Structure 1
Amino acid sequence: MAARIVLAVRESQYIEPLLHYIHHSEYGGMLRVSAFSMLDAFMEFMQGEEVPDAVVGDPSFIEAWLVEGRNSVPWAVLSDDGDIRGNPSGSLAGGQMIIKYQALPSLLESILQLCDLKRSRMASVPKEETLLLGVVSASGSSGKTTLALNMAKQLGGLGLSVFYLNLESVDSSGLFLRLPDGSAPGLERLLYELKASAGEGAKRKQER
């Protein structure tokens, strides 16, 4: 999956050659870049629902974004003069510093390393295991579907694989009042009930 990068730089002359290089190199499959040269457009995008993997930009753009307090995404400031001797590791408080004018492969590798910070945070959850989240309520019209859909969207925005299953229209009383033929457990039993309910519904329509 390509890393989603937000690039915020005043000079469009800086953005265009960089995007051209990405699209015509091996980095085209690694990076998906949303670039902005206007502060207002950048801020509007960052206030939206899409969550990027990293934000890289001029100091003025990054500072304006950090003031909003939505800085849970790895970020880096592009250094015009390339002087990071005051920060030997190229790091700032909460972020990184990247030399703005350098060989494009080196620049893009630095951005990819920035994305690795987010991946390392997510690596604590074993990929072999599936996390199951359920949204239930004893009463109807309580916002279960809206909540579940928004959760799925947010988790998907974090790069996680999400499967959303809505059982609201399924009559689950059969799971407690009757048993299917045989001793089918777990998922097999649920699929049996879904199929049986669908068959009964079709039969009623035909009788009408």
Structure 2
Amino acid sequence: MVKRTVVLADSDGVYLKRLSDYFMEKAPQLELSIFTDLSMLKQYLQRGRVDILAVDETFADQELAAQSTVAVKIVLSTATDTVDGFETVKKYQKTESLLNDLLLKYAESTGSAEVIRGNSHTKITAFYSPAGGTGKSTLALGMATTCACAGLRTLYLNLEEIDSMDMVLAETPGTLSDLFLALKTKGMNVGIKLASSVRQEPSAGFYYVNGVESISEYGEMEGTDMVRLLETVKSQAEYDVMVLDLSSGFSERTVKILEQTDVIFVPVTAEETAAAKLNRLLNEAAFHENYNALFGKMELVANRMSGKTGETVLRESGLAGRLPCVGVIGNLPVLERKKALLQGKEQLMAVFQPLLARLMNG
């Protein structure tokens, strides 16, 4: 691993010590130096090349701005004002966020995503049903919240063509529209665009990106584009888990997405149409053998049912003999409203533990 040289400079030694301790623990890809004296900093910069220079705004003078040995110069600012010759990062924020912002500025300036690459082996799960109204979006959010609560760095992506997550989740710096544009534009780095687009949900703890600005954009996306997007997330190794919420269709694009998953959770309710549509889909295996591997990754989730009701519905519909059932989820108050769901981490852990165990233990 090629290490990147980072120099932090601030007159506040206590602040620098806190940053440096965190950086050394969490970012082994960085070689760190710190300075509280501006003149000593300038002498140091004459000795060789520095990848990232991050200084307090009182240190950000024109001499540093003109320093040719520094790849990316960043001012740690307490205001929104910009300083000529410097990128700007908010000084007082969570240390994790500050580190991410510094690395992202470097990635954007150099066009290389290497510095923001993690070391996780990303597991991908999708919540999918050929029938609408089965509660898959609620379950997907619950799963993302549970994964984050379990200490897993989690990315939630709603890939429904018509989604309503803007009613639940706050605005993100970028959207799926930005990622789709990056996928279609030669020379644009999708990994960097993703890193600059995500936001962490403050209560639930998972990361996410808002949906497309226009649903017509999905018409321009092919299955291979979606595969590239998912492969980019995996190659960045930044997330332990990626939770996907998919539309109910079975288009070529959806099939390509499902093929990239480790586990597909399929919610089914007591409604006859939900089981009938799922049986109809599974019947396709008789005509298309290539779907066998796909259906082999599917696990039923009996949703909005008691244990006995779930067993009865799955048995009478014939689904019990076709797909394994990973769990039964009742009509729980915590799942009635999506916004309330984001606050119910402790309650969700008990509900989603079987799904989490299935995903992580395979």
Report the TM-score range of the alignment, normalised by the length of the smaller protein: 0.3 to 0.5
Question: Computing the radius of gyration over CA atoms, which structure comes out larger, 1 or 2?
Answer: 1
More strand by share: 2
Q: TM-score, normalised by structure 1?
A: 0.48
